Structure formats: C-alpha cells, structure tokens
Amino acid sequence: MTANPTVNSVESLRVQLLEVLPDVAGIVRRSQILVVARVQEAIARRGYATLVLAGGSTPKPLYEALATESLPWDKIHIFWGDERYVPADHPDSNYRMANLAWLSQVPFPADNIHPMPTEPSDPAIAAAQYETEIRQFFQAQSEEFPAFDVVLLGMGDDAHTASLFPGTAALAVCDRLVTVGEKSGQPRLTLTVPMINAARSVMFLIAGANKQTALAQVFAAEADPTQYPSRFIQPTGELWWLLDQSAAQGIIELKTE
Ligand code: 6PG
C-alpha cells in the first residue's frame, strides 16, 4: 500500500508559528481553539487523541475552558509532560491542578487519565513505570518515540520547560521517553527532549513580563540550549508559541495601535 503523501507530508511537516495575544485570556481562547481542532482531527484520523498537559499556573484557565467543551471524552487520553514528585493530592501536584480544573468536571473514563506515578520511593522507578505505560499505550517498539497529538508546555523565567531545567542531567537524556529532572534539588518526572519533539503539535503557552529575558534568549540566533532548555524543543511537527504582549515584548517590536 503506498503511503498517502499528502497525509505524510502534512503530518511530518515542521511548522513554527508564533502568535502574540493581548493577555492570558487571549492565550486561553486561542489555545482552546487549537487544542480542540487537533484533538478532533486526531480522533477523525486515528479514532483517538492523546494530549499531554503542562503544569504551572498559565494552563489552568485553559483546562477550565476545556471543561466547558462537549467532546468525546472516551476517545481522548490525557498524559503529563512533567510532575512534581509529590502525592497526587499535594497542592503542588500538576495532576491535582488539572483534575480539579477539568478532568473531574467531565466524564473521562478513568483509564483515559494517565498521571505520572509518584508513589515509588525512587523517582527513577516511577520514570521507568511511566515510560512502560506510554510504550504499552502506543504499542511502541523499544527504540521508538511515539507521537503524542498535542503537547502543552509552559516556560519558566529561566527558560526551562516541562521539568527540563538549565544545567541538569535530564537535558542530555536522549534514549528514554521519561526521566528524572530536578529543580533546586527536588526531584521531578519529565518527558525527555526527544519524546516532546516526537509530538505532532507542541504548544507553548507563555505569559508575563518576567518571561521576556528568557524568551529573548530562546529566540536568539545563538545561545546555549543547556542554559535555555526551551531551545531544545524543535518538534518535527507543529511548534506553536502563544505569547501575551508582556512576554513577547523582548522579541517583537510591538506596534502600538
Ligand atoms: C511545572 C511546569 C513548568 C511550568 C513553567 C511555567 O511543573 O511547573 O511544567 O514547566 O510550565 O514553570 O510555569 P507558569 O505557567 O506558572 O509560569
């Protein structure tokens, strides 16, 4: 059977898109439209969709907005891009934030929610467990990086993303899907750079003037990606940068109306 060049070329096309929105509400509205469209497209093409959630504060209103959608929740699988190594009911848990804002508000089948495990005493065991869960879900071979349909990311003011922090060993892990990151000595679980880059669509949601300096380095012609890890995110599929005006100030000469 010959591959469908149109589908393959579209699916493998690498596109970087940057949009500056007036504020966080603008980022939420735009990302909601984009996420819903890609989830519906994935379901139409493959019968199901896979969505990877980011932690932090920026995506929370997006999750609240997605809870108002009417989607075939039984065809949507939710994974995480990173997790603080705390219990699922801990205030810092990325799972807890998304579950309260969205997942518990709509009828997702429990099996469709794939939180990163934080029970094992050794985070490396948890990382291996999550890698196994991803491989089994996708029926992926040992050398393969399966493609999530959409990966949501935030970016810290140090240009970290997921739990890929500047100067950490996690940045160099390229033979695993999931690894152990660390922030100020505290362990975290994170998808690896190649796992994120395998996605069909990656969306950064970035707001706030405190991100200006980091963004300028991420978009600079030359900068050390181990110091500005978001530079490592170069998916073969779409890469969306959804920025508010405050965050974008450092990289775009905004024309005041
Ligand atoms: C986390 C996130 C982290 C976050 C950035 C930006 O676990 O905290 O995954 O990578 O996306 O720190 O956070 P804000 O959106 O709160 O600025």
Torsion of CA 96, 162, 135, 2, to 10 degrees: 120
DSSP-derived letter for residue 191 is E
Q: Residue 154 Cα, ligand 1 centroid: separation in angstroms?
A: 5
**Residue 31: pLDDT over 60:** yes
Ligand 1 pocket test: pick from 90, 118, 160, 243 the residue with the most ligand atoms within 8 Å of its Cβ: 160
How sure is the predictor about 83, in pLDDT bands with cuts at 50, 70 and 90? very high
Chain position carrying tokens 């065991």: 125
The conformation of residue 110, written as its DSSP 8-state character, comes to: G
Output the CA 252–ligand 1 centroid distance in Å. Answer: 23
- 152 Cβ closer than 6 Å to some ligand 1 atom: no
Distance from CA of residue 231 to its chain's centroid? 14
Question: Is residue 190 lining ligand 1, measured as CB closer than 6 Å?
Answer: no
Is the beta carbon of 161 within 6 A of some atom in ligand 1? yes
Residue-level pLDDT at 14: 67
pLDDT band for position 256 (cuts 50, 70, 90): very low
Atom 7 (ligand 1) nearest CA: 55
Mean pLDDT value across residues 191-196: 98
Q: Predicted confidence band at 1 (pLDDT cuts at 50, 70, 90)?
A: very low
In the predicted model, what is the mean pLDDT of the chain?
93
pLDDT recorded at residue 16: 86
Angstrom CA distances, 108 to 8, 73, 90, stand at 30, 5, 22
Pairwise CA distance, residues 204 & 34, whole Å? 12
What is the side-by-side strand order in the sheet with 150-153?
Answer: 15-21, 238-244, 201-206, 150-153, 49-53, 76-80
- Whose C-alpha lies nearest to ligand 1, atom 15? 58
Binding site membership of 54 for ligand 1 (Cβ less than 6 Å): yes
Give 47: exposed, middle or buried? Use CB within 10 Å, 0-12, 13-18, 19+: exposed
pLDDT band at 11 (very low <50, low <70, confident <90, very high): very low
Rounded mean pLDDT of 123-144? 96
Does residue 172 or residue 16 have the better pLDDT?
A: 172
Q: What percent of the chain has pLDDT above 90?
A: 89
Which of the two residues, 5 and 83, has the higher pLDDT score? Answer: 83
Contact between 241 and 206 under an 8 Å Cβ cutoff? The reply is yes
pLDDT grade for 224, boundaries at 50, 70 and 90: very high
> Which pLDDT score, from 0 to 100, does residue 253 have?
55
**Each residue of 164-175: pLDDT tens digit?**
999 999 999 999
Task: Give the pLDDT band (50/70/90) at residue 250.
Answer: confident
223/220 Cα distance (integer angstroms): 6
For ligand 1, atom 8: residue with the closest CA: 56
Please give the average per-residue pLDDT across 61-78, as a whole number.
Answer: 98
